[in-house]
Amino acid sequence: MTVPRPSPSPVPGAPDSAPVSLPPVTLILGGARSGKSRFAEQLVAGHPGRRVYLATAEARDTEMAERIRHHRERRGEGWDTVEEPLDLVGALSRVARDGAAVLVDCLTLWLSNLMGANRDPAAEMSRLVTDLPRLGGPVVFVSNEVGLGIVPDNPLARAFRDEAGRLNQAMAAAADRVYFVAAGLPLTLKDLTPRDGAAPTATQARGAPSHR
């Protein structure tokens, strides 16, 4: 379902409406209400082909239902929406094909769904990272950075924080481009896509993080 709506105003640092070339895998990190989802939408909106919004959220209460409605209206026309709370790898294999650009929003809710369903987050994360090179179109992943605040006061919340950190590290290692968004402003953390024939810098080419 799509709802007609005027195009959103540009986010500082985001591309304009002209077609842009997305790398195979982009990761966008940020805190709550940081502007990360809006920035991701504008990146994918510049893709000249089919655009797919792969939602991992479930409308389990009125607050989440309202957030889903707001995101849908903000995206406007020109998107196909697919909802998949658990089998992210299977959904990506179906929609990331024939050059379609896919926006996954978000990895954090996907992780929460996995833990709530007693799935093994490490196994699912490994499955996702392994399947990334097989996808047939660029994918932009959105994920929350949840490790910058205070230490949670209960074991489940601490386990979630730790798993989210490991997931973000694994995805950042696999991604071609990584952004961190704060106060609506995107900061490039990693970019392995050469521009004007330039090779990646030594900092960009460093090995994968330890996932500790």
Give the active site residues: 71
Nearest to 203 by CA among 189, 184, 186: 189
Assigned token pair, 74: 């903000």
CB 63 within 8 A of CB 15: no
* Alpha-helix residue ranges (DSSP H) falling in the chain: 36-45, 62-75, 88-95, 107-116, 121-131, 155-174
Q: How far apart are CA 173 and CA 206, in angstroms?
A: 9
DSSP per-residue codes, 49-85: S-EEEEE-----SHHHHHHHHHHHHHH-SS-EEEE-S
What residues contact 5, with CB distance under 8 A and at least 6 apart?
73, 74, 75, 76, 77
The count of C-alpha atoms lying within 13 angstroms of the C-alpha of 153, restricted to the half-sphere facing its C-beta, is: 0
The count of C-alpha atoms lying within 13 angstroms of the C-alpha of 33, restricted to the half-sphere facing its C-beta, is: 1
